[in-house]
Structure 1
């Protein structure tokens, strides 16, 4: 006898601790805070003998002259990060680690439609290939009627010009039921299936190179049970 069911998950995700571990070589922008309250983000600063600053803007080959008296403060972005005018940093390249927890609400299809809630824990690592794109991989532990362990690849796309920014996320992989890993049953087998989780969220930057991610999305996961009745 065969029995199959689908878990369609509505996810409120709280992914805490996206931490930069290292960075490749990169141009570290300078932040010029002006006396009128504005700021400039430049790639290079040269001090001239006449009391002026020659600065080169990001992604530009032209330099501009700026009186030094107009500059209140100069600060350089941390390596591998971009510094915002509010002093908060966001990772622009390099490796990261993250851990998180999620609240899952699952509805089962079949004879009895019931909604259950539980927690999920996930861990991941990856790399910022561009200030607006990060790619990585991770593992999660989801609990429904039983524990399922999704292994997945992950991609996020950001708006890099903002320290606090919305983002799109996609996780794609395979869910492994843990029942057969730790406890074999002669008459019952459990099979996993495709796992994917699209989400939309917001990244909250801090002044300590630690990002907080809040997202909400759908978690699609398939599990199938197969029962084999013994022959009498």
Structure 2
């Protein structure tokens, strides 16, 4: 009877170990679709009227793409970036990739596109226009047991915005170039 329990325990352990190994190593090529949802903060400075200010603002980002292989996925990135006085909605072409086929792997991302201010609420007399943006990032992916993963990335974001303020003493035009360090945590599926 003890031998039967021992053999059953060994078989269950071997089968369970094999199942866990497949689920963690097959993640990068399991499906051609790659989706990512990330939240985080933008840290950095902006220059307005020659004055540099340092700010922290929240960011939300969603990536949907096609995975050609574990090293290369191509897709579209969108989200919300909250700066001091304007909400920017970036729409960008995005690249994503994973460097290792293991439970924990380094990852990279690169986004380039246009940030629109169409959803930003404007003060009376103020008009905002978006501009070009780019954002490289590097980080770590940690797989779960069900073909999903948690991510942590650190990157850089450069976003241009133009504003026009009309008031009783004239018009003030300014070009703002937001240069921000990004930190994000997310979910990959």
TM-score, normalized by length of structure 2? 0.68
Aligned to 2:28: 91
Q: 2:113 aligns with which of 173, 187, 203?
A: 173
Question: Which structure is higher in RCO with an 8 Å CA cutoff and minimum separation 6?
Answer: 1
Aligned to 2:6: none
Q: 1:149 aligns with which of 57, 81, 89?
A: 89
Aligned to 1:225: 163
Aligned to 2:78: 139
For 1:94-109, list aligned pairs within 5 A: 94-109=32-47
The structural deviation recorded for 1:142 is 0.7
Please tell me the root mean square deviation across aligned C-alpha atoms, in Å.
2.9
Q: 1:161 aligns with which of 101, 107, 113?
A: 101
Question: Does structure 2 conserve the Cα–Cα contact (< 8 Å) formed by 1:89 and 1:207?
Answer: no
Question: Does structure 2 conserve the Cα–Cα contact (< 8 Å) formed by 1:106 and 1:144?
Answer: no
For 1:38-77, list aligned pairs within 5 A: 73=15, 75=18
In the alignment, the residues of structure 2 paired with residue 201 and residue 231 of structure 1 have an alpha-carbon distance, to the nearest angstrom, of 49
Q: Could you list the per-position Cα deviations for residues 4-34 of structure 1 after superposition, in whole angstroms to 9, with x for gaps in the alignment?
A: xxxxxxxxxxxxxxxxxxxxxxxxxxxxxxx
Gaps of 5+ in 2: 1-13, 171-189
Structure 2 residue 61 is the aligned partner of structure 1 residue 127: no
Give the 3-state SS of the residue equivalent to 1:114 in structure 2.
strand
Structure 2 residue 53 is the aligned partner of structure 1 residue 114: yes
Gaps of 5+ in 1: 1-71
Q: From the two aligned structures, give the one with the greater helix fraction.
A: 2
TM-score, normalized by length of structure 1? 0.57
Give the 3-state SS of the residue equivalent to 1:207 in structure 2.
coil
In the alignment, the residues of structure 2 paired with residue 168 and residue 97 of structure 1 have an alpha-carbon distance, to the nearest angstrom, of 14
The structural deviation recorded for 1:184 is 8.4
Q: How many residues align?
A: 153
